[in-house]
């Protein structure tokens, strides 16, 4: 296969959760541009529909589905809907996530439970639902979990303890699922972004001192540009990464190497 061919996702079907905003839009656009049909899922159906419509407007195949990833039944229904509409499932990007900030001694139990429910349990429910379908369909697949640099270290300068715990869980969940599902030809990897502009990070980006602290802590000296996540997602989704599983690819300007 030629180099362009190994990155080609033509005829593949992908689900992206949290596709209605921020990085989920970037991931949906990149997979779509590489040729995949993209099922845009979000707890906010109207936002998912907007992303899917923008892909269809430029002649690509896309659909929207409403799903709360922290509900295992909703995760299964999301996968069933994708398979019902398009007949296969090759890729799922478990991107939906939430954050809560504040000193660890002040974290409220309900807030803790909600962050773990969406960021960790939600990733597992969607991965499990997707893997069940992939095993039944027999074509293997690529599962990509969206972790964070905060899955590899403390949440400073931002204080986000439950978030950091959830993302650390995602990193090791990725290894565990990769090893268990390798026999089915299912690869499981994660992407660990540093700071990128989105709804989730708008508070951070609006605070000049915080932004400066982050830039100074980053070896490449700046925050991420959304388009810098396009190559990594297509790489992990495609045959270009056919021998890569269980890994977290940090897209972080060197943050986790320091
Ligand atoms: P965002 O807030 O812009 O988008 C998150 C999307 O997820 C929203 O559309 C929201 O409706 C959806 N969502 C929230 N809860 C959901 C649920 N229970 N079920 C389904 N959908 C739900 O945030 P973002 O920055 O684009 O974050 C996307 C992912 O990237 C998250 O997992 C986040 O932790 C991770 N991440 C982001 C950054 C960053 O700098 N932006 C850095 C590292 C990791």
Q: Give the ligand 1 atom nearest the CA of 70.
A: 18
- Residue 2 CA to ligand 1 center (angstroms) comes to 34
With pLDDT > 70 as the criterion, what percentage of the chain qualifies? Answer: 100
Task: Report the nearest atom of ligand 1 relative to the CA of 22.
Answer: 26
Dihedrals phi, psi of 250, to nearest 5 degrees: -80, 125
Q: What are phi and psi of 219, to 5 degrees?
A: -50, -40
What is the predicted pLDDT for the residue at 132? 98
Contact 14, 244 (CB under 8 A): no
pLDDT number for residue 138: 98
CA distance 123 to 17: 9
pLDDT value for 197: 98
pLDDT value of residue 163 = 98
Residues designated catalytic: 163
Residue nearest to atom 33 of ligand 1 (CA): 97
* Ligand 1 atom showing the smallest separation from residue 201 Cα: 41
Q: How far does the centroid of ligand 1 lie from the alpha carbon of residue 24, in Å?
A: 7
Q: How far is the CA of 1 from the centre of ligand 1 (A)?
A: 35
- Report the candidate in 164, 64, 66, 178 with the shortest Cα–Cα distance to residue 119: 164
Q: What is the pLDDT of residues 131-181, one digit of tens each?
A: 999 999 999 999 999 999 999 999 989 999 999 999 999 999 999 999 999
pLDDT per position as a tens digit, 10-46: 999 999 999 999 999 999 999 999 999 999 999 999 9
How high is the pLDDT of residue 71? 98
**Overall pTM > 0.85:** yes
Q: Is 199 in the pocket of ligand 1 (CB under 6 A)?
A: yes
**CB of 21 closer than 6 angstroms to any ligand 1 atom:** yes
């Amino acid at each position: 296969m030629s180099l362009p061919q190994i990155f080609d996702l033509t005829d593949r079907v992908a689900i992206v959760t949290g596709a209605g905003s921020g990085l989920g839009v970037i991931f949906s656009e990149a997979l779509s541009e590489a040729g995949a049909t993209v099922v845009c899922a979000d707890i906010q159906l109207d936002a998912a529909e907007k992303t899917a419509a923008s892909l269809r407007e430029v002649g690509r195949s896309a659909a929207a589905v409403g799903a709360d990833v922290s509900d295992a039944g909703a995760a299964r229904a999301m996968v069933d809907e994708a398979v019902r509409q398009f007949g296969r499932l090759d890729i799922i990007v478990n991107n939906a996530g939430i954050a809560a900030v504040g000193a660890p001694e002040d974290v409220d139990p309900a807030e803790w439970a909600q962050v773990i429910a969406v960021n960790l349990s939600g990733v597992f429910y969607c991965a499990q639902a997707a893997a069940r379908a992939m095993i039944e369909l027999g074509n293997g697949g690529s599962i990509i979990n969206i972790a964070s640099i905060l899955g590899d270290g403390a949440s400073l300068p931002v204080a986000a303890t439950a978030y950091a715990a959830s993302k650390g869980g995602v990193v090791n969940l990725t290894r565990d699922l990769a090893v268990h599902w390798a026999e089915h030809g299912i690869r499981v990897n994660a992407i660990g972004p540093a700071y990128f502009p989105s709804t989730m990070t708008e508070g951070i980006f609006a605070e000049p001192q915080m932004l400066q602290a982050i830039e100074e802590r980053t070896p490449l000296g700046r925050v991420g540009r959304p388009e810098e996540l396009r190559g990594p997602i297509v790489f992990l989704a495609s045959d270009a990464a056919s021998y890569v599983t269980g890994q977290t690819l940090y897209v972080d300007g060197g943050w986790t190497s320091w």
